[in-house]
Structure formats: structure tokens, C-alpha cells
């Protein structure tokens, strides 16, 4: 299974994560999740959380955008997954996925932890 990078072309950290992978000989399948045609579904987001170690979706949610979009601190995980699927700005990036493992690339070097 190829390495997949959940990537936002307008994000400096995401661009640096992609460059880091490429510098290390990894040419990932790039998923531009901000594009309407490549948005992540609730099921895909749940799978990412599972591959990260069964974490809450809040582990890879952009807090500042949650506040801007009015997502309540008391929102359940189900509500957070639904909000992320509907509004991809809520998803922190980059996220690396390799087989049964996924990692948030913050810092970017963590993307190499699942190679």
C-alpha cells in the first residue's frame, strides 16, 4: 500500500512535509483534501483516527478554525467527525498514512515515523 499524504497546497507546513518525504525518497500519493472532489468522508476520518491509535478527532483538528466556525467545545466525537467532513478547514495537516498507521506531521519529521 502506498504512502498517502493528506495535503493542502496552500499550507506551508504541508508543503514542507511533502518536500521532506520526497527528499527521503518517498513519493507519496497526494490527497488534496481541500478540493471538493477529494474531500475526506466521515468514514475516512474515522479510519485516520483509528490508524493514529484510536484517537479523538480533536487530535487532528485545527482549534482556531473550530472556534471561527462555532464548533462547541462540548461537541461529541461524532459531531466533530461530521463537521470535519463538511468543512475540511477543520482538519490539521499534513497527515501521513502508510498501511495501518497514520500520523500528524506536526512537526513534519513525524511523517517519517511510519515509513
Indicate whether 1 pLDDT > 80.
no
Average pLDDT, the chain: 96
Of the listed ranges 16-20, 58-62, 65-69, 111-115, the least confidently predicted one is 65-69
11 among known catalytic residues: yes
Strand 95-98, strand 101-104: pairing: antiparallel
> Averaged over 17-46, what is the pLDDT?
97
Domains of the chain: 4-114 (3.40.30.10)
Length of the chain: 115
Report d(CA 112, CA 5) in Å as an integer. Answer: 11
pLDDT per position as a tens digit, 55-101: 999 999 999 999 999 999 999 999 999 999 999 999 999 999 999 99
The per-residue pLDDT for 16 is 98
**DSSP 8-class letter at 40:** P
Contact yes or no for 91/62 (Cβ under 8 A) = yes
Please identify which of the residues 3, 11, 26, 39 carries the catalytic annotation. Answer: 11
Amino acid at each position: 500500500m502506498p504512502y498517502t499524504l493528506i495535503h493542502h497546497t496552500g499550507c506551508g507546513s504541508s508543503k514542507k512535509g511533502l518536500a521532506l518525504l520526497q527528499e527521503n525518497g518517498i513519493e507519496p500519493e497526494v490527497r488534496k483534501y481541500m478540493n471538493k472532489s477529494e474531500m475526506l468522508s466521515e468514514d475516512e476520518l474515522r479510519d485516520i483516527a483509528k490508524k493514529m491509535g484510536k484517537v479523538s478527532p480533536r487530535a487532528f483538528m485545527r482549534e482556531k478554525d473550530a472556534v471561527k466556525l462555532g464548533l462547541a467545545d462540548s461537541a461529541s466525537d461524532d459531531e466533530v467527525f461530521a463537521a470535519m467532513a463538511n468543512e475540511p478547514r477543520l482538519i490539521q495537516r499534513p497527515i501521513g498514512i502508510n498501511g495501518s498507521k497514520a500520523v500528524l506531521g506536526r512537526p513534519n519529521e513525524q511523517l517519517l515515523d511510519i515509513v
